[in-house]
Structure 1
Amino acid sequence: MKVAENIIESIAVIEVEGNIDSKTAPEFEKAAIAAIKGQGQVIIDLSKVEFLSSAGLRVLLMIYRQIKSQSGKVVLVGVSEDIQDVMSNTGFINFFIIVNTLEEAVETLKKG
Structure 2
Amino acid sequence: MTVQDPNVVATSGAESAAVDSPAAGQLGLSVRTPADGVAVVSVSGEVDMLTAPQLRAEALRHLDGRTLVLDLSGVTFLGSAGLAVLVEASQQAKARDAEFRVVAVDRAVTRPLVATGLGDVFSVSASVEEALAGGSR
TM bucket by the smaller chain? 0.7 to 0.9
Deviates more, 1:39-48 or 1:50-59: 39-48
Pick from 127, 130, 133 the counterpart of residue 101 of structure 1. 127
Which TM-score applies when normalising by structure 1? 0.85
CA distance in 2, matches of 1:3, 1:82: 17
RMSD: 1.6
1:79-108 Cα shifts (integer Å, max 9, x gaps): 322422211221211221111221111111
Considering fraction of residues, name the structure with more helix: 1
Match of 1:72 among 87, 95, 98: 98
| Whole-angstrom distance in 2 between the partners of 1:68 and 1:22 | 24
Unaligned runs of 5+ in 1: none
Structure 2: distance between partners of 1:65 and 1:57 = 12
TM-score normalised by L of structure 2:
0.71
Offset, 1:71 = 3.5
Q: Does 1:30 align with 2:73?
A: no
Q: Percent identity?
A: 29
After superposing on structure 2, the runs of 4+ consecutive aligned residues of structure 1 that deviate more than 4 Å are none
Structure with the greater relative contact order (CA < 8 A, sep ≥ 6): 1 or 2?
1
Q: Whole-Å Cα distance in 2 between the matches of residues 29 and 12 of structure 1?
A: 14
Query: Which has the higher Rg, Structure 1 or Structure 2?
Result: 2
SS at match of 1:108: coil
How far apart are 1:58 and its partner, in Å? 0.5
Whole-angstrom distance in 2 between the partners of 1:75 and 1:39 = 14
Q: State the shift of 1:54 in Å.
A: 0.3
Mapped contact 2:60–2:92 kept (Cα < 8 A):
no
Q: What SS is found at the alignment partner of 2:78?
A: coil
Aligned to 2:134, the other structure's residue is in SS state helix
The amino acid across from 2:30 in the alignment is A
2:68 equivalent among 36, 42, 48: 42
Structure 2 unmatched ranges of 5 or more: 1-26
Query: Is 1:19 aligned to residue 27 of structure 2?
Result: no
